[in-house]
Structure 1
């Protein structure tokens, strides 16, 4: 299980904290999202100088934000580059999300993903694309174009398998076209939001068990997929396995262990991305007492109990995915508005 850090701020880079976490806490990658950047840019004045420089250069709105994000994430990518090189591309990645406002626009998502990856100019740079229905078609095209993809906002086995299929279709097309099949990808499954969504509706004795059961089911599908004839054909052609990533791993229930999801989802060939509080907690007192079973480990009976209680997992998965897109879209609009306001204030004071 690889550890990935779920935040980015300029202070984190300038203070040397990220370098420290890489060396001392064994962090091997980093991811970001609009909410993270919104909080980072609005906390203090660390970005003010860059905002002013880009504003004076004619940048505004989304274009100015991406300049700021790429400044941070390319620095982070360079810090992780030795890990990327030593692991032959398995670890050492950073992730940047396309605008969530493009979640229902495949062509625009494809264009943005290719442009941002090219602009970053780093091999260890994932572009995040939501794994909704429209996103799946974009993922195939982006992978075919050779852009590494972090498929985000996956909540169910169905979501995961659709993302994996889109990834493999892109690789199959590259092989058919005589292109290098080694295009990396991760499939990010959001965990804790499941338990948060069913608070007050949980069957007796199954508090905080739905998310882990869903994750176990997805892990079973993940292992089965990489035993399939389709995958072995791709592997024999030189393709890389799309890695399963556990996202949203911070414990939302204050009455539960602060390392609940990290400890429950330890498994080979996976990544756990952690917010700072969870990372520090796991590094301090986390325990690894076993690994996920490849057969689902009784997840089916847990899901059946929730079904009997009137909680339909597939319907809820669709709701959670749409809510996730809406949350990121709101954060995105707030982020762009904040940058615009800061730009105006800084320009007026110049």
Structure 2
């Protein structure tokens, strides 16, 4: 039986798990996935933390301790989530060491309610970086207009960043520019560029969900936009990270900002459940998967090597056909960006509500 996850790794795709809980960490599950399933990184978000906190009793003692120390709900959330991420970083440290610091990364997100507040986002990133205090940490910052300068500012401080909520090619161009500007400032500030890493999290399945709804039933373009959009993003990545400006940074030890395919769980049951993995294999990429997708890939993925760089013309054709069909790409991206922030804010509220309930129970 083919080891599909090994084949992905061999093709230059870092397999990351889009999930984390104290149960995974303390039971040895996460370490097992790293050892046996080629999992090389972990991403988190408020929904993941809310689900973890609502199950079992592994957080109760720390909640009681933080409540006893007088922490408010934000302080308790900060304490719980940074503890899990710090411990996950320790679990993933062997991967970090084995890959020369490229992988073995764990991501934690700034408060989504700060997505349109530049200064507060910068301060949140600094606080999370200092509290977790692990070199294999990524701080997740959303790619909104207001947060893009925060990406540059965090990198300038030597903080490694996972830029999240990227849907469109125009936004991606700004993210890459923010990354390079951050490296240039970091170099000027005396930081070792070889220690700074970043990924650009390009969301895939949500693009299909939005565009399929606009196309209506029966369109032969259904289910094609997400992959085509991501393939064109990779083309932009190849173009951007070349030339004199980048070569000057590379000579100083800088690392390219890897494209990360996020939202790779298939939303439409009619589609292949591994399509956002199989069809987006390319060198120097990351694919972060919910466990259901990871299991599907392990079981029946069809890894055929690079499926991106030889499909640029196909991707251009899909996007041209969508335009001819009346799909307004810019409007699609605007809707997805707005809804993306709103979904993260809703998840954060749910996380706060979950923690409030546990705080009340701890105080009884």
Normalising by structure 2, we get a TM-score of 0.93
Residues 298 and 149 of structure 1, relative CA distance in 2, 3 Å threshold: same
Q: How many residues were matched structurally?
A: 348
Q: Distance in 1 between matches of 2:168 and 2:254?
A: 25
Residue of structure 2 aligned with 1:186, choices 199, 206, 214: 199
Deviation for aligned residue 1:114: 0.8
2:345 to 305, 323, 329: 329
2:112/2:345 contact within 8 Å kept: yes
Q: 1:92-131, aligned counterparts within 5 Å?
A: 92-131=104-143
Which of 240-249 and 313-322 deviates more?
A: 313-322
Contact 1:223/1:294, CA 8 A, preserved across alignment: no
Unaligned 5+ segments in structure 2 are 1-12
RMSD across aligned positions (CA): 1.3
Mapped pair 1:56 → 2:68: yes
Quote the residue 1:165 is aligned against: 177
Structure 1 CA distance for aligned equivalents of residues 341 and 243 of structure 2: 31
1:343 is aligned to 359
Structure 2 CA distance for partners of 1:149 and 1:294, relative to 1, 3 Å: farther
* 1:60–1:340 Cα contact (<8 Å) kept: no
The answer on whether the counterparts of 2:118 and 2:150 sit within 8 Å (CA) in structure 1 is yes
- 1:195 match: 208
Deviation at residue 294 of structure 1 after TM alignment: 5.8
Q: Deviations over 1:225-284 (max 9, x none)?
A: 122222111111221111110000001111111111000000100000000000011011
Distance 2:107 2:172 in 1: 19
Q: Which residue of 1 is the match for residue 286 of structure 2?
A: 271
1:144 and 1:230 map into 2 onto residues whose CA distance is 17
| Structure 1: gaps of 5 or more residues | none
Conserved in 1, the CA contact under 8 Å of 2:211 and 2:332?
no
Alpha-carbon distance, 1:181 to partner: 2.1
The separation in 2 between residues aligned to 1:131 and 1:20, in whole angstroms, is 33
